[in-house]
């Protein structure tokens, strides 16, 4: 699939993705596997556990989560009514790397090694990790997509840029099988022993909705530029079912846009 990206030379040959609908059992977490359970925010001291059922009360769980309840630049939001504006597309330079899949107890996550970047408005942000929500967190006219991928860029101190990709049911995405075929049995990491290229999960176009928001999980930090791509990707019904067999309601409710600008890039 042709994509509007700028890529550095591939340093290694990627192994072919597994067949869709594989009956392969989830991979046990390797005891000596390197941890790629990176998040977009440093671990908070003594931060309490949270669940998606508690989402409306996240701000009351702990003072470190206060922004979840009192912030006025929170995410996700409904993307309807965006104003058209001519904006520069982000420039992506994603490198293949050795795949490790993590179950964080909140989502399925792929941690990324250093060396892959997103450049936006002349500033470069390192790709830290990507993870999956089902159904999508962002909606259009109140309607969610089947799933959403979040590509998290930045460092532990912020600011962050999160690239969101909506997923609809349709033809399968072969690269997604690399993730689904190597889910750890429980929480923790599983080393897949294969190379993975996050760019394979992107659509052709990088035309995006853009707004200033927050992380969609505690502590709901409000230093995030959101780019939600206008063009969705497709996964098969079986691929979506394999994801939702693990997490089928890990989406934060919509937040009020307040007085923020919501823009849609026009080519």
How many angstroms separate the CA atoms of 24 and 49, rounded? 32
More confident site: 48 or 163: 163
Overall average pLDDT of the 175-181 stretch: 96
Instruction: Report which of 174, 219, 238, 169 is spatially closest to residue 17, judged by C-alpha positions.
Output: 174
DSSP string, 152-213: EES-TTS-EEEEEEEEEESS--HHHHHHHTT-BSSSEEEEEEEEE-GGGGS-S---EEEEEE
Number of neighbours of residue 230 by Cβ within 10 angstroms: 18
DSSP string, 22-67: --PPPBPPPTTPPP----SSPPPTTPPP--GGGGGGHHHH-GGGTH
Structure confidence at residue 238 (pLDDT): 98
Compute the mean pLDDT over every residue in the chain, rounded to the nearest whole number.
Answer: 85
Q: How confident is the model at residue 66 (pLDDT cuts 50, 70, 90)?
A: very high
pLDDT exceeds cutoff 70 at 18: no
pLDDT exceeds cutoff 50 at 221: yes
pTM of the model: 0.84
Place of tokens 């179950």: 103
Dihedral, CA of residue 258, residue 214, residue 220 and residue 190, to nearest 10: 150
Overall average pLDDT of the 158-170 stretch: 95
Structure confidence at residue 182 (pLDDT): 94
Overall average pLDDT of the 23-48 stretch: 44
pLDDT exceeds cutoff 60 at 49: yes
Place of tokens 């060396």: 115
Give residue-wise pLDDT tens across range 185-200. Answer: 888 888 888 899 999 9
Give residue-wise pLDDT tens across range 112-127. Answer: 888 999 999 999 999 9
More confident site: 57 or 34: 57
The residues spanned by each domain of the chain are 77-265
The encoded tokens of residue 126 equal 């390192």
Spell out the CATH class of 77-265: alpha beta
Residues with catalytic function: 106
Overall average pLDDT of the 30-40 stretch: 35
Place of tokens 């250093």: 114
């Amino acid at each position: 699939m042709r994509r509007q990206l700028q890529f550095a030379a591939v340093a290694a040959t990627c192994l072919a993705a597994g067949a869709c609908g594989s009956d392969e059992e989830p991979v046990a977490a390797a005891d000596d596997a390197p941890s790629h359970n990176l998040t977009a925010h440093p671990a908070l001291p003594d931060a309490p556990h949270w669940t998606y059922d508690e989402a409306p009360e996240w701000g009351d769980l702990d003072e470190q989560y206060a922004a979840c309840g009192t912030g006025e630049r929170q995410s996700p939001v409904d993307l309807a009514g965006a104003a058209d504006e001519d904006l520069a597309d982000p420039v992506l330079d994603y490198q293949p790397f050795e795949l490790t899949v993590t179950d964080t107890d909140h989502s399925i996550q792929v941690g990324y090694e250093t060396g892959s970047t997103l450049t936006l408005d002349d500033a470069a942000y390192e790709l830290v990790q990507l993870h999956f929500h089902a159904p999508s967190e962002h909606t259009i006219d109140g309607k969610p997509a089947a799933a959403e991928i979040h590509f998290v860029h930045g460092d532990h101190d912020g600011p962050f840029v999160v690239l969101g990709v909506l997923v609809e049911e349709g033809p399968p995405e072969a690269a997604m099988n690399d993730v689904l075929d190597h889910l750890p049995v429980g929480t923790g990491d599983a080393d897949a022993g294969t190379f993975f290229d996050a760019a394979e999960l992107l659509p052709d176009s990088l035309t995006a909705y853009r707004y200033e928001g927050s992380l969609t999980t505690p502590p709901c930090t409000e230093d995030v530029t959101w780019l939600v791509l206008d063009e969705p990707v497709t996964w098969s019904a079986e691929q979506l079912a394999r994801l939702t067999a693990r997490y089928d309601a890990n989406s934060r409710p919509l937040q009020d846009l307040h007085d923020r600008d919501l823009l849609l890039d026009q080519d």
